[in-house]
A and B are shown apart, each in its own frame.
Chain A
Amino acid sequence: MSAVSIRGARKRFGDPDTGTPVLDGIDLDVAAGEFVAIVGASGCGKSTLLHAAAGFERLDAGEVQINGVPVTEPSRRHVYVAQEPSVFPWFTVVENIAFGLRDLAPSEIARRVQEHVALVGLQGFEDAYPYELSGGMKQRLEFARALAVDPAVLLLDEPFGALDAITRLQMRREILRIWIATRTTCVLVTHDVDEACELADRVCVLSPRPARILEILPIALERPRSLDAPEVRDVRSRVYGLLRVDR
């Protein structure tokens, strides 16, 4: 059984019959522990697909299943991380990470918080407020809060889009390190082809709106991997070709 299974996903903006089509029948399976990147031009509908998987938006037709259970509403089984950090400015690092754990026993909350502070390397900042953290640290806090609830899948919507170029590269390594440590199933939506090629087991290329899957390209290369490796360069040029970007 796939961790994530998207079947015949269709969606129009506005009216389900006459609105602008956004998703034109998407089928995608993501295995447990897999890292899949979805790339496509801006506005192609990739965020809509992720919102549907998160339960924030309904599809007009088709469905998304997580571990075989259809997604009908937001849930801790599938946590969504966007480019603008949504950590709560009125909570400290520890309080933010504990946010999704309120129904657990206090000792278990403490254990998970400690574990995830360490996982994302925020030791020493436990009692800091988000305004005291850099953009990259805020995003790491976002990952810690998401992973602390032990989700079946992490839905990453351009998670590094708001960061500067250097922090972005550092965060790519960081998310890779975290993924290798936890092997949490990840679906990453991005328009950064390098990002997709550096991180993903498979790169799924979407057409311009309405989105269809043009091709799914596997990269069978250990991570961390070099962007200069022949396999990566090959996939990258094919992705650019599919996106009709001449290089």
Chain B
Amino acid sequence: MSRIGRVAWSLAGVSLFVAAWAVATRHAPPSGVPGPAATLRGLLDVARSGALVRNVVASVFRVAVGFTLGTLAGVPLGLWIGWHARAHAFFNPVLQALRPISPIAWLPIATLWLGSGDSAAVFLIFLSSFFPIVVAAAAAVRTIDRRYLRAAENFGVHSIALARTVILPASLPQIFTGLRVALGVGWVVVVAAEMLGVTSGLGYQINDARNNLRFDLVVAAMVVIGAIGYMLDGLLRALERRAFVYRSARDGAR
């Protein structure tokens, strides 16, 4: 499909969604579910007051810190677990049992440990990113094509040099998929994490607006969350395409 065709179809999809939203909410009372027009007015309100920017910055900051920490801890640990069968046997059951626990379930524990505030929210984002990244990195190492490891062995490349020149680059595409999942989960979780104990962020905006019965601001925050989540993933995808240009031909159309 041509670029123009793709954009046209996407615009049609978005328009139809907004139209359906408008139709579904057309008879709602002022205190009911807001339609697109009311949401837009609410969005402009918070944008003008500066609250929107402050909340977006707060949420993005928490996700950025938690995600970075999750990456810094998750990638090396995942590589190590993937490489050593013993480390895999040792860590895997614990990781697999911790992974299905929703990060939100950690909220009481997180506030108990870290108090309310930024650190508890950041900790939840850290957990949300850490598990998908560890699992992706370990799986990536375990599925490295034997040919590459054989060649490295044949040319006398071991330990750190092996990790740097073969294991890491060979696993990076799969690790990147893990990073995208992690960022997506982190962005979902931050909203819930901000509903307790903090006074900024898009999650806080939703909670605060509901308490004030400003449902237009609730939906405005939802729209912003969706748009930013979409952009963050687009950013990582663009980075992925640039970083792994060498893969594009081998993997066919992507």
Mark A residues whose CB is within 8 Å of B.
54, 56, 73-76, 79-80, 82, 84, 86, 88-91, 99-100, 102, 129-132, 145, 149
Interchain CB contact under 8 A, A100 and B155: yes
Q: Restricting to B218-254, which residues have a CB under 8 Å from any CB of A?
A: 245-250
Interchain CB contact under 8 A, B246 and A75: no
A91 CB to closest chain B CB, in angstroms?
8
A120 CB to closest chain B CB, in angstroms?
17
Most chain A CB within 10 A, of B156, B169, B249, is at B156
Q: Is B161 an interface residue (CB 8 A)?
A: yes
Most chain B CB within 10 A, of A54, A100, A149, is at A100
Interchain CB contact under 8 A, B246 and A100: no
Interchain CB contact under 8 A, A76 and B156: yes
Q: Is B147 an interface residue (CB 8 A)?
A: yes
The CA-CA distance from A157 to B148 in the complex, in Å, is 16
Interchain CB contact under 8 A, B154 and A74: yes
Interchain CB contact under 8 A, B155 and A149: yes
Q: Restricting to B139-197, which residues have a CB under 8 Å from any CB of A?
A: 145, 147-148, 150-151, 153-157, 161, 165-166, 169-170, 172
Contact partners of A130 in chain B: CB under 8 A: 246
A79 partner, pick from B145, B154, B161, B246, beta carbons under 8 A: B154
Interchain CB contact under 8 A, A88 and B245: no
The CA-CA distance from A86 to B152 in the complex, in Å, is 10
A90 partner, pick from B153, B161, B246, beta carbons under 8 A: B246
The CA-CA distance from A75 to B172 in the complex, in Å, is 27
Additional pairs, 14, CB under 8 Å, beyond known A88-B169, A90-B170, A145-B155: A56-B150, A74-B153, A84-B147, A86-B148, A88-B151, A88-B166, A89-B246, A91-B169, A100-B155, A129-B245, A130-B246, A131-B249, A131-B250, A132-B249
6 contacts between A and B (CB under 8 A): A75-B154, A79-B154, A99-B151, A102-B161, A129-B245, A129-B246
The chain A residue with its CB closest to the CB of B244 is A90
Most chain A CB within 10 A, of B155, B161, B172, B246, is at B155
Top 3 nearest A-B pairs (CB, nearest first) are A100-B155, A131-B249, A86-B147
The chain B residue with its CB closest to the CB of A82 is B147
How many residues on the B side are at the interface (Cβ–Cβ under 8 A)?
A: 22
The CA-CA distance from A91 to B172 in the complex, in Å, is 13
Contact partners of A79 in chain B: CB under 8 A: 154-155
Contact partners of A56 in chain B: CB under 8 A: 150, 153
Q: Contacts A88-B169, A102-B157 known; A74 to B249 CB distance under 8 Å? A: no
A98 CB to closest chain B CB, in angstroms?
10
Most chain B CB within 10 A, of A75, A86, A91, is at A86
Contact partners of B247 in chain A: CB under 8 A: 89, 131
Contact partners of B148 in chain A: CB under 8 A: 86, 88
Most chain B CB within 10 A, of A73, A88, A100, is at A88
The CA-CA distance from A20 to B165 in the complex, in Å, is 38
The CA-CA distance from A129 to B246 in the complex, in Å, is 6
Most chain A CB within 10 A, of B145, B151, B154, B172, is at B154
The CA-CA distance from A149 to B155 in the complex, in Å, is 8
Interchain CB contact under 8 A, A86 and B246: no
Interchain CB contact under 8 A, B166 and A76: no
The CA-CA distance from A73 to B153 in the complex, in Å, is 9
Interchain CB contact under 8 A, A89 and B250: yes
The CA-CA distance from A75 to B246 in the complex, in Å, is 28
B169 partner, pick from A80, A82, A90, A149, beta carbons under 8 A: A90
Most chain B CB within 10 A, of A56, A89, A100, is at A89
B154 partner, pick from A54, A88, A90, beta carbons under 8 A: A54
The chain B residue with its CB closest to the CB of A84 is B147
The CA-CA distance from A169 to B154 in the complex, in Å, is 27
The chain B residue with its CB closest to the CB of A148 is B155
The CA-CA distance from A56 to B148 in the complex, in Å, is 13
The CA-CA distance from A93 to B251 in the complex, in Å, is 20
B55 CB to closest chain A CB, in angstroms?
40
The chain A residue with its CB closest to the CB of B243 is A90
Most chain A CB within 10 A, of B150, B161, B169, is at B150
